[in-house]
Amino acid sequence: MNDDLNRNLQPANPYGLGAGASSSLLTRNRVLRNTYWLLALSMIPTVLGAWAGIAFNVAGVMGARPGMSAIVFLVGAFGLMFAIQKYKDSGIGVALLLGFTFFMGVMLSRLLAFILGMHNGVSLITIAFGGTAIIFGAMATIATVSKRDFSSMGKWLLMGAVIIIVAALANIFLQVPALMLTVSVLAIAIFSGFMLYDVNRVVNGGETNYVSATLAIYLDIYNVFTNLLAILGIFGGNRN
């Protein structure tokens, strides 16, 4: 009788989950929540970096020496990303991530300065920001709601990203407008796919560190925004 009474007193699990599954779900939700909070916070140093880059004419320096600018960007970006991954389990990793987003904002200043030189530059930036937000919202929703596992996309997306990086670096010296446009269109498609892939990894428990998750998703958003803005500048820019 005591055994029957004890069984009746056990709290019911409304979701039909065992203790391990429930704990895993809570962990995933916490990682996803912290990722979104840190992602929102990372936009502040990005904006500050972009403002500093424009205010101190970093765009002019980058335009005068495109080859050196590319080297500075690659060394700075990959160096900071390596450091973030090394310290991702501590507060240092968060500080490095915010420093990285400031650096990326500075690197963004050249494109922003070019777009702001157009009469409709502010509206183009607003449209690019809104378009990026819509794409991210759609991809994040699919990744969260869908029961599919999108991990198989990873290797194909990585291959596409490598091709884009190589083509973009080559075009710094070639200056072929058609190639730049092609790279931008492909980059939007590929990094939109990365948004789906990276959010889905957190949802499915493949990524359990919110600093690493934030870094990955931030890069997805950054690349979609910059390439969307570049296309808008080509087709919708007004310098008259």
Domain assignment of residue 84, yes or no: yes
Domain that holds residue 73: 25-236
Q: Is residue 168 part of a domain?
A: yes
- CA dihedral 107→113→114→120, nearest 10 degrees, is 130
Position 171 in a domain: yes
Question: 3 lies in a domain?
Answer: no
E strand or H helix at 128, and its extent?
Answer: helix 121-145
Contact 41, 98 (CB under 8 A): yes
Residue 18 in domain? no
Q: What are the angstrom distances between the C-alpha of 233 and each of 58, 127, 150, 167, 172?
A: 20, 11, 33, 20, 17
pTM (two decimals)? 0.87
Residue 1 lies in a domain: no
The tokens of 207 are what?
A: 């990524």
Q: Which of 81, 74, 51, 194 is nearest to 132 (CA)?
A: 194
Report if residue 78 sits inside a domain: yes
Q: What is the DSSP string of 52-118?
A: HHHHTTHHHHHHH-HHHHHHHHHHHHHHHHHHHHHTTTSHHHHHHHHHHHHHHHHHHHHHHHHHHTS
Please count the structural domains in the chain.
1
In a domain, 5, yes or no: no
**DSSP per residue, 87-105:** TTTSHHHHHHHHHHHHHHH
- Averaged over successive runs of 10 residues, the pLDDT of the chain (240 residues) comes to 45 48 78 95 97 89 77 92 96 97 95 92 95 97 90 91 87 79 94 96 91 97 96 79
Nearest to 160 by CA among 135, 193, 134, 138: 193
pLDDT in tens, 172-229: 777 778 888 999 999 999 999 999 999 999 999 889 999 999 999 999 999 999 999 9
- For 7-19, the pLDDT digits (tens) are 443 444 444 445 5
Distance CA 187, CA 173 (A): 19
